[in-house]
Amino acid sequence: MPPVDAVIALGANLGDRQAALQGALDGLRATPGLEVIAVSPVYETDPVGGPEQPDYANAVIRVRSNLSARGLLDRAHELESEWARTRQERWGPRTLDIDIIDVDGQVSDDPTLTLPHPRAHERGFVIVPWLEIEPDAVLAGHGPIRGLEIDTSGVRESSEGMSIT
């Protein structure tokens, strides 16, 4: 399979958030056939939807991979499991959340992996960090991410100096 470029969002709001994001990044880097191209700064964000819960730490990374979109999703689920991610409540708190946002502009309505991510164009916690690493990015069906009108009021640079490398 020829390499694909993908955008992946990382988030955590339980436990050591920075360690979870770094663990996800390290796990992706250790994946055969996957190269991390760019890593955004870490942002702290208000939770969107769901119950009362702590703020999130979020980052976005770009990768080049020989894995299919489904292969990327499977790897993301493996890493979430390593961080004891449970799926008990939609939009509930989590130790680690890894979302596949875009894979080479592919469009798919597969219920297991919808591409691009169905709510990415509405989420400041995805678009703001993505702009940091790819300001000219285009989201299939929505156009340039720079032109998206989204609420970014709940997105702020990490006050704790969190970063992942």
Clarify whether 85 is annotated catalytic. yes
164 located within any domain: no
In this prediction the pTM is 0.93
Question: Is 156 among the catalytic positions?
Answer: no
- pLDDT for 124-153, tens place per residue? 999 999 999 999 999 999 999 999 999 999
Contacts by 50-56, CB closer than 8 A, 24 or more apart: 50/89, 50/90, 50/91, 50/92, 50/93, 51/89, 51/92, 51/93, 53/13, 53/92, 53/93, 54/13, 54/14, 54/93, 55/13, 56/11, 56/12, 56/13, 56/17, 56/125
Q: What's the domain count of the chain?
A: 1
Among the listed residues 97, 123, 136, 151, the single catalytic one is: 97
CATH of the domain at 149: 3.30.70.560
**Residue 87 in this model has a pLDDT that exceeds 70:** no
Catalytic residue among 99, 110, 119, 156: 99
Is residue 71 one of the residues assigned to a domain?
Answer: yes
Question: Looking at the domain assignment, is residue 162 inside a domain?
Answer: no
